[in-house]
Amino acid sequence: MLEDKNPQKTSLAELGEFGLINHITQYFTVKNATTKYAVGDDAAVISNQDETLVTTDLLIEGVHFDLSYMPLKHLGYKAVMVNLSDVYAMNGKATQITVSIAVSNRFPLEAIEELYAGIQLACDTYQVDLVGGDTTSSTKGMLISVTAIGTAKAEDIVYRHGAKVTDLIVVTGDLGAAYLGLQVLEREKQVFAVDPKNQPDLDNYTYLIERQLKPEVRKDVVGWLKELDVKPTAMIDISDGLSSEIMHICSQSKVGCKIYEEKLPLDPQVISACEEFELDSTMVALSGGEDYELLFTVPIADFEKMKGNPNFSIIGHITEENQGLNLVTRASQEIELKAQGWNPMKEEV
């Protein structure tokens, strides 16, 4: 049987705003006892006994994502991850999200269904509830705004401003893969533009591409730290690059730092891709961004609890503010750290 090359596309105008909302939210279920009422009224009803954490991000087509290689289902999933990561970076538990989208008339209902399939998968995987949002039209492509809501006991919340001199600097997972995944996708996009018949061989880049298109965030770390009886003194998620994030911690904590090049955790695919693209792996690890790992500081007294743990890498320590922010190279030279990661307010050249 021949595949239908012109599948039915349903205009969003046929459903209207409320019809669209009802259609795309019909399969979402409530998972948290704190969600008293989700979608369907003027506002959601949430009942929290602990502190409430709220964070939001706006993703814009052509700035934050490229639909020529980003599947809509992956985009929906990633849009949720971006926000949940901020809740976990506060040592909290994510419980609810709201999703607002603006789309141009080039997107049929079937495209929005794909987007929300990714959002639903994220909600199911991380046990959060969709409790509201908005839909509207856009004159230019797609915009997605997700707000995440979470909870934490007041004494458990970790801010950016608590790092102390001699604290250890710790990172989860590995660094740089998401940035290199983007480089691979951008390269293949250019190849496709020249030769649309060219079929890319991406087998050697599966981990890198997955980290870019479908990142997972570190909900698990909050539980691990509690099991170890370790409370970070400061914490942040790595969305804009390691160097930018440690600068935020140091600036708000009024301290300096030393990061050791040889301690930066790198996946083998990152190392081989850096060689292929003729990129310095250290700079990729420091400035790549979108890793959504957690960067945090812990008292040096917790060294025995952290050392040798395969989930964590101790990459440096906090120093006095007047010592500055430095990278210690493999040759034991100290180089000033600079923020070269993603800057959302950077002007186009």
* Share above pLDDT 90 across residues of the chain, in percent, rounded to a whole number: 74
Instruction: Give whole-number Cα distances, 309 to 158, 215, 314, in Å.
Output: 21, 22, 10
- Superfamily of structural domain 16-152: PurM-like, N-terminal domain (3.30.1330.10)
Residue 215 pLDDT exceeds 60: yes
* Residue 311 and residue 252 in contact, taking contact as beta carbons nearer than 8 Å: no
Residue 14 pLDDT class (50, 70, 90 cuts) = low
Mean pLDDT rounded to a whole number for the chain: 91
| DSSP output for 74-105 | HHHHHHHHHHHHHHHTTT-EEEEEEEEEEE-T
pLDDT at 1: 37
How sure is the predictor about 121, in pLDDT bands with cuts at 50, 70 and 90? very high
User: Residue 148: beta bridge partners?
Assistant: 55, 97
Q: What pLDDT does 19 receive?
A: 67
Give the architecture (CATH level 2) of 168-336: Alpha-Beta Complex (3.90)
Give the pLDDT of residue 348: 46
Band (44; pLDDT cuts 50, 70, 90): confident
CA–CA dist 122, 32 (Å, integer):
15
Encode pLDDT of 92-111 as tens digits: 999 999 999 999 989 998 99
Mean pLDDT, residues 121-149: 94
With bands split at pLDDT 50, 70 and 90, how would you rate the model's confidence at 294? very high
Kindly list the domain boundaries of the chain, sorted by start residue.
16-152, 168-336
Residue 149 dihedral angles phi and psi, to the nearest 5°: -120, 135
The pLDDT of residue 17: 63
Other beta carbons less than 10 A from residue 195's beta carbon: 8
Q: What is the pLDDT of residue 275?
A: 97
pTM recorded for the entire structure: 0.90
- Tokens for 119, please give them: 């959002």
Domains 16-152 and 168-336 share a fold: no
